[in-house]
Amino acid sequence: MARITAGLAMSHVPAIGRAVDTGMTGDAYWAPLFKGFEFSKTWEAANKPDVVFLVYNDHATAFSLDFIPTFAIACADEFAPADEGFGARPVPTVKGAPELAWHIAQSVIEQDFDLTIVNRMDVDHGLTVPLSLMFGQPKEWPVRVIPFAVNVVQYPPPSGRRCYNLGKAIRKAVESFPEDLNVQVWGTGGMSHQLQGPRAGLINSEWDKRFLDRIGPKPEELAAISHLEYVRETGSEGIEMVMWLIMRGALNDRVKEIHRHYHVPASNTAVGHIILENA
């Protein structure tokens, strides 16, 4: 049977992708950020999953205002890196896991979460930057990926509670898949950041660190955080952190923290990262 072994969370800032693509990871500005991922890359290589269920948000790339799915699961064989306005990132095509993706779609919809099913989609930095952080610059990505897009652009995004419960449904779906697969769930985005208006640049390290402290042992508390609190305390784009709760919901109630990293800034954003294993 397929099983979820670990959950990872990390920010997905576009400038991080640019730093990787242009060989700037050793620069004074970037080095402290990437240093915090050195352990993670080694750990990931030693615990390499077959499939990553990658929760991210599309940034007006695959989804314009014509269609705005709250939750979209991508079931295609592969996904091309998107041209986001300055040419596509020079990273490998992302290979999908269509059989498992379709199984999850069917199972989760039967558990009352009405997903949008996507058969053709380019993937933007929200999906490819986490892969770069964990795998560097390989010729091919070493894992298959199920892209799972959450709307956090058009207000309101789904609530943290809804995301947490969806994670639980995804776990049930994975565990009912007959093939023996090691699956990781990654929640990406965050932490505090605001990209717009006169309050741009807001960073709330204290709040972020409390979030990191609680994501393992006290996810129920985090699931109760309101949209208003996210926006007021962590900036208008900090609300992306609801996606971490999908990851957390997909894990056991008890988890073991393997690694944590927090760094300010990457461009406008506080970068947070955590690895949780099922206890």
- Residues labelled as active-site residues: 125, 193
Nearer to other proteins, 178 or 197 (CB): 197
Binding status of residue 231 toward other proteins by CB under 8 A: yes
The SS3 of residue 231 is helix
Among 192, 240, 244, 277, binds other proteins (CB under 8 A): 192
Tell me how far, at minimum, the Cβ of 101 lies from other proteins, in Å.
Answer: 25
**Is residue 59 within 8 Å of residue 126, measured between CB atoms?**
yes
Q: Assign residue 155 a region (left: φ > 0; alpha: ψ between -120 and 50; beta: otherwise).
A: beta
**Is residue 75 within 8 Å of residue 96, measured between CB atoms?**
yes
Nearer to other proteins, 77 or 83 (CB): 83
Distance CA 159, CA 71 (A): 12
Chain-centre distance for alpha carbon 261: 15
Binding status of residue 114 toward other proteins by CB under 8 A: no
Among 35, 201, 218, 252, binds other proteins (CB under 8 A): 201
Residues whose CB is less than 8 angstroms from the CB of residue 36 and which lie 6 or more positions away in sequence, other chains included:
261, 262, 263, 271, 273
Distance CA 104, CA 15 (A): 32
Binding status of residue 228 toward other proteins by CB under 8 A: yes
Nearer to other proteins, 45 or 60 (CB): 60
Binding characters for other proteins, 43-82, by CB under 8 A (x = yes): ----------------xxx--xxx---------------x
Distance CA 110, CA 261 (A): 37
Distance CA 273, CA 54 (A): 14
**Is residue 35 within 8 Å of residue 169, measured between CB atoms?**
no
Binding residues for other proteins, rule CB under 8 A, total: 44
Binding status of residue 207 toward other proteins by CB under 8 A: yes
Stretch that binds other proteins, among 72-80, 152-160, 162-170, 245-253 (CB under 8 A): 152-160
Which parts of 8-27 interact with other proteins (CB under 8 A)? Answer: 14-15
What is the per-residue burial (b if ≥16 Cβ within 10 Å, else e) of 152-178? Answer: bbeeebbbbbbbbbbbbbbbebbeebe
Among 80, 109, 117, 264, binds other proteins (CB under 8 A): 264
Nearer to other proteins, 125 or 162 (CB): 125
Nearer to other proteins, 186 or 207 (CB): 207
**Is cis: bond before 217, omega within 30 of 0?**
no
Binding status of residue 203 toward other proteins by CB under 8 A: yes
Which parts of 80-109 interact with other proteins (CB under 8 A)? Answer: 82-87
Distance CA 145, CA 13 (A): 19
Binding status of residue 188 toward other proteins by CB under 8 A: no
Interface positions with other proteins (CB under 8 A): 14-15, 29, 59-61, 64-66, 82-87, 153-156, 192, 194-205, 207, 228, 231-233, 235-236, 264-265, 267-268, 270
